[in-house]
Amino acid sequence: MSSLEEAVESRDHLVAVWSELVRDRGGRIGTDDGVVHMWADSAFGFWNTVTLAGTGIPADALGERLARAASFMRGRSESGYLWVFEDLLSPQARQSLFRRAAEAGLEPAFSGRGMAGDLSVPEPDHPDLEFRRVENEEHLAAYGDINARAYGMPPEAGRLALAGSQLWRGDVHAYLGYSDGRPVTCAATVAGPHSIFLALVATLPEEMRKGYGEAVTRKAIHEGGRRSGHRRLVLHATPAGQPVYERIGCRANTAIHFLRLAGHAYIG
């Protein structure tokens, strides 16, 4: 694939899969002249997502879309993120992204990378972990709590993140890793038409650097691929997670910039 094709794949998987996950949280999906909204007005900020449609977006159009996205976000009761896939912008738009974002009242929250790979992951094993698939409310609460703690969100955001979800107990291949009977890490895959999408990978801060995140990620990929029949994996990685996914067999592509309304923060 070309860099543009990889960026389109990364953005389109976000829209397709995240829309399903956001609807599960009672959210609404819509498009307003090149701005795509996937918004649940949830205390769990990742369920409040905006991104940009199109490719080769010119600088002037970028400024207009950033302003529309910011206006939409200001009208919501909870904070969220605008995902900007850098390779979908024209060269001039890339150079002016952060200036135009500031003019729209947006600021950088963090950055990451799109990643993808065609791979087959064998059944994983870790001497200190027991893997359990998410099947009940206790599991859902643990999964949300691990994510909230890992990403610096308020504790109540974790409790509400997945509460009552049937989707996460069924179609999503979500796994917890337990150490000494305590849930410490989690990862999930969601099947699409031609690939699986990796979502909400997290490890408790005090349990990091033990190989837990990579092990549970391999478990989610193995099970999601085995049950869907797909070898293609698409994901969005933080800088900390990128080396893990490279070891599994994925390759980085477009840079992704996560913007928030100036003064609004979830990730510390």
Question: How confident is the model over 251-262, as pLDDT tens digits?
Answer: 999 999 999 999
Distance, C-alpha 59 to centroid of its chain: 26
Residue 268 is predicted with a pLDDT of: 42
Cα distance between residue 26 and residue 47, in whole Å: 10
CB 227 within 8 A of CB 214: no
What values do phi and psi take at 71, rounded to 5? -60, -45
Q: pTM for this structure?
A: 0.94
Residue 265 is predicted with a pLDDT of: 54
Residue 193 is predicted with a pLDDT of: 81
CB 20 within 8 A of CB 165: no
Residue 47 is predicted with a pLDDT of: 97
Give me the residues of the chain with pLDDT under 50, please.
266-268
Residue 227 is predicted with a pLDDT of: 93
CB 166 within 8 A of CB 184: no
The CB density around residue 209, as the number of other CB atoms within 10 Å, is 7
In the block, which residue shows the tokens 């996950």? 21
Q: Which residues contact 65 (CB under 8 A, 6 or more apart)?
A: 33, 34, 35, 52, 57
